[in-house]
């Protein structure tokens, strides 16, 4: 049973998340031979105020 976690900054639409889950599921099925029903995708959204790079918060970029 493959489990995949995708971490990304907040702000994506439900349609974008739906497409992401579909494409990730397809990739896992193709590469591992698992059935679609066994692939679980977790989306963890990160608040832009809680992460930064280059000395700046993502919310300030």
DSSP 12-31: --HHHHHHHHHHHHHHHHHH
CATH code reported for the domain at 3-55: 3.30.429.10
For the annotated catalytic residues, the residue numbers are 2
User: Domains of the chain: which residue ranges?
Assistant: 3-55
pLDDT for the residue 12: 97
pLDDT for the residue 42: 98
The whole-angstrom separation of Cα 27 and Cα 25 is 5
For 9-61, what is each residue's pLDDT tens digit? 999 999 999 999 999 999 999 999 999 999 999 999 999 999 999 999 999 98
The H or E element containing residue 41 is strand 40-46
The whole-angstrom separation of Cα 13 and Cα 10 is 9
Q: What is the dihedral of CA 31, 12, 5, 46, to 10 degrees?
A: 150
pLDDT for the residue 51: 92
């Amino acid at each position: 049973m493959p489990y995949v976690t995708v971490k990304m900054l907040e702000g994506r639409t439900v349609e974008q998340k739906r497409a992401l889950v579909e494409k990730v599921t397809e990739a896992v099925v193709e590469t591992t031979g698992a059935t679609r029903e066994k692939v679980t995708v977790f989306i963890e959204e990160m608040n832009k105020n809680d992460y930064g790079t280059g000395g700046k918060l993502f919310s300030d970029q």
